Chains A and B, each alone.
Chain A
Amino acid sequence: MSLRDVSARPQQYLQSLSRWHPLEIAFWLATLLPFVLFPSYLSLASQIAITALFALSLDLILGYAGVVSLGHAAFFGIGAYAAGLFSKFVWGEPFSGLLVGAVLAGIFGYASSFIISRFRHLTLIMLTLGLGLLAFEVANSAHWLTGGSDGLQGVSILPLFGMFKFDLYGYTAYGYALAALFLVFLGARRLINSTFGLALRGIRENWTRMPAIGADSRAHIRKVYTIAAAIAGLSGALLAQTTESVSLESISFQRSADVLVMLVLGGAGRLYGGLVGAAIFMIARDQFSGIAPQFWYFWIGILLVTVVLVLPNGILGGLSKLWARWRGE
C-alpha cells in the first residue's frame, strides 16, 4: 500500500511516519558490536556515544527549530563541571550526578533562552558565541573551583548500581554512555514525532508564518532550548564521570565548533545525523591523529568542504536521496 494513496487515513499516515525502520533497529544493534569486535576501543566508543548525545542535543535546536548555536559547549561544560564537583564534594553515585548535570545545564539553558528566542540569524550566532565564551572564561578564572586550565582533579565515581566499577577498558563506561544515549534518543524521537516537533519544523520552515497561525514561536524555542541544554549537560556529565576528570576543553569554543561540524557532516534535521556525524568525526580524529597529530583538522576541513558542496543535507541526506532514487527506479 502506498502512503500517497488517497484512501490512507490521515491519522494512520502521520502514525506511519514515526514507525521504526528496519535500518534503525540494525543501527542500534550495531552499536553493541564494539563489545565483541573492538574491546580495545571501548573507551573511544564511549566517547563517541557521549559526543553523539551532545550532537543530538544540538540537532534538536539547530536541525529542527533552525536555531544556530556556536556556544552549545557552555551547557556541555556546565553539566561536566556540575557532575564532577558533585562527585567530588557530595556523592559519587553516578545517576544522581547525571541528574545534577542535566538539571543545572537546563536551568542555565532556560535562563538564556529568554534572550536566544528573540533573535535569528547572525545576531543569534554572535549571541550564542558570546555566551559560550563567557562560560569558558568563568570556568577558566574560577580556578579555586574548577581547577582552571589544570582541569578538575579528584573526581571519583562510585560503581554503577553499586556493582559495576568504571574500569580502565571502558566496558562499564561504554555500556553506561550507550544506555544513556539510547534512552535520551527515544525521548528525542518521541519529541520529534509530536505536535511540538511539528511546531519546531514549522519555525524552521517559515518563521514569518508562525505568528499568523497563532503560534508563539518564542515559547516553543524557549522550551526546546531548555531541553537541548539539559541533554547537553547530561552528555557533559557522562564525560566527566566516565573519564573521572573535567578539562577546560569541555566548555571551549572548539567543542562548540566541533559539534556543529559533526552535525553538518552527518546531516542536520534528521535524528541520526548527529549520531553518524559524531562517529565519523571521532573515528577520523582517532585515526588521523595517529598519523599526524597536529594536522588532523586538515582532513576534517577537506571532509567538511566536500560534504557541504556535494551533499548539502549531510551524509545521511545524501544516502537517503540515493535510497529514494534507487527505490524509485
Chain B
Amino acid sequence: MNAPALSTFGLSKSFGSLAVAREIELSLPSGARYALIGPNGAGKTTLINLMTGMLAPNAGRIMLGEENITALEPQARVRRGLARTFQINTLFPGLNALEAVTLVVAERRGIAGAFWQNIAVHKETIEEAYEILAKLRLGDDCYQPTRELPYGRQRLLEIALALATKPKVLLLDEPAAGVPQEESGEIFEVVASLSDDLTLLFIEHDMHVVFRFATHIIVLVGGAIFAQGSPAEIAADPGVREVYLGKRHHG
C-alpha cells in the first residue's frame, strides 16, 4: 500500500492560550477529493497555513508522501508538489495572467534566475503557461493586467497559478469565495475536471458543492477534527448536524 499523499500527525498550534489546531491527524490518499468544512473560526485556513509552511506548528509532523516536510520552507514544499490557493485573492495585480503563469512555470523549471536571456527564448515555458490558462478558460483574457480582470476570472487565475507548480497535492481555500452562486459552478467544474492523479483538499461553505464534489469530508470544530467520513456518513452524523449542518448556513 502506498503512503498517503499528505498526512499530519499530532499537528498543533496555538496563539497564546488560544489553540487554533489541536492534535490534527489527517491522511489524504492519493487522488482523493477531500472537503474541509466547519464553522467560521474553526481553524480551516490555519490548517492550510500549517500544512503549507506559512505558519510553524508548535508540535506535530507533516508528511508529503514519505517525506517529512515539517521543517521545510513554503517554497521548498511547493517544489516538492504541495500547492495552495488563497481565500482572498493573492495575485500579481500588475502582471497579466500570461506573465504570472509563465513566472510560475519558469520557477518550477528552474530558469527564473536566467537574467541574461530574453524571456521569449523560453518557448516551451511560455506555451506550457498558455496551455494551463487555456484549460482554465483564461486564454482570451491572458493579456489583460490581473487587476483589470473580473473577480470570477481572478478566482480562476488563483487556481491556475497553483496548478502551474504541477502539484501532487492541491489545497484550495474556498476557491469560489465571493463569487455569486450562479458563477461558482464554473469554478467547481474546473476543479472537478482536474486530473485524477491530483490529490485535492478544499475548504467550502456551500454544502451542495461539498456533497457534489467531495469523496470524503472532514469536519473541523474549534481547531480539532470533529468528525470525518464519506458524505453519506457525515450527512447522517447527528453530532455534525448539531454543531454545523443544523445551524443556518454560513453567510
B122 surroundings in chain A (CB, below 8 A): 195
The CA of A291 and the CA of B128, in the complex, are separated in Å by: 60
Q: How far is the CB of B142 from chain A (nearest CB, A)?
A: 7
Q: Which segment of B8-16, B74-82, B194-202, B228-236 sits at the interface?
A: B74-82
Q: In the complex, which residues of chain A have a beta carbon less than 8 angstroms from the beta carbon of B90?
A: 206, 208-209, 212
CB distance from A13 to the nearest CB of B (A): 6
Q: Is the CB–CB distance between B79 and A6 below 8 Å?
A: no
Is B91 in contact with chain A by the CB < 8 A criterion? yes
Q: State A201–B94 Cα separation when bound (angstroms).
A: 8
Which B residues, 107 to 135, have Cβ-Cβ distances below 8 Å to chain A? 107-108, 111-120, 122-123, 125-127, 129-130
A-chain residues with CB within 8 Å of residue B103 when the two chains form the complex: 195, 198-199, 202, 213, 215
Fill in one digit per residue for A28-62: 1 if any B CB lies within 8 Å of its CB, else 0. 00000000000000000000000000000000000
Q: Do B95 and A202 touch (CB < 8 A)?
A: yes
Interface of A is mostly: helix
Pick the residue among A196, A205, A216 that contacts B75 (CB under 8 A): A216
Do B100 and A227 have beta carbons less than 8 Å apart?
A: no
A212 surroundings in chain B (CB, below 8 A): 52, 54, 74-75, 78, 83-84, 86, 90, 161-162
Contacting A201 at CB < 8 Å: which of B95, B113, B125, B162?
Answer: B95
Can you list, as one digit per residue, whether each of B50-82 has a CB less than 8 Å from chain A (1) or not (0)? 001110000000000000000001110011000
Asked if B164 lies at the interface with its beta carbon under 8 angstroms from chain A, I say: yes
| Interface residue ranges of A176-227 to B (CB < 8 Å) | 190-191, 193-199, 201-202, 204-206, 208-216, 219-220, 223, 227
Q: Give residues 200-231 of B contacting A (CB, 8 Å).
A: none
Q: What's the minimum C-beta distance from A42 to chain B, rounded to whole angstroms?
A: 33
* B102 on the A face (CB < 8 A): yes
Q: Answer whether A206 and B92 are a contact pair too, CB < 8 Å, given A10-B130, A199-B112.
A: yes
Known contacts A194-B116, A197-B119, A212-B78; decide if A205 and B94 are in contact (CB<8 Å): yes
In the complex the two chains form, is B164's CB within 8 Å of A194's CB? no
User: In the bound complex, do residue B98 and residue A14 qualify as a contact, i.e. CB atoms below 8 Å apart?
Assistant: yes
- The size bracket of the interface on A is 35 or more
Are the CB atoms of A213 and B130 closer together than 8 Å?
A: no
Known: A196-B113, A202-B95, A205-B94. A215 touches B118 (CB 8 A): no
**A10 to B119 alpha-carbon distance, docked (Å):** 11
Q: How far is the CA of A323 from the CA of B91 in the complex (A)?
A: 28
User: Nearest-CB distance from B139 to chain A (Å)?
Assistant: 7
Q: Does A18 contact B (CB under 8 A)?
A: yes
Instruction: Given A10-B126, A197-B115, output 17 extra A-B contacts at Cβ < 8 Å.
Output: A6-B140, A8-B143, A11-B127, A12-B120, A18-B119, A18-B120, A190-B115, A195-B117, A196-B113, A196-B114, A197-B119, A201-B99, A202-B100, A211-B53, A214-B79, A220-B112, A220-B113
Interfacial residues, chain A to chain B (CB-CB below 8 A)? 3-4, 6, 8, 10-15, 18, 190-191, 193-199, 201-202, 204-206, 208-216, 219-220, 223, 227
11 contacts between A and B (CB under 8 A): A11-B120, A14-B98, A190-B118, A195-B112, A195-B117, A197-B115, A208-B90, A209-B91, A211-B74, A212-B52, A215-B112
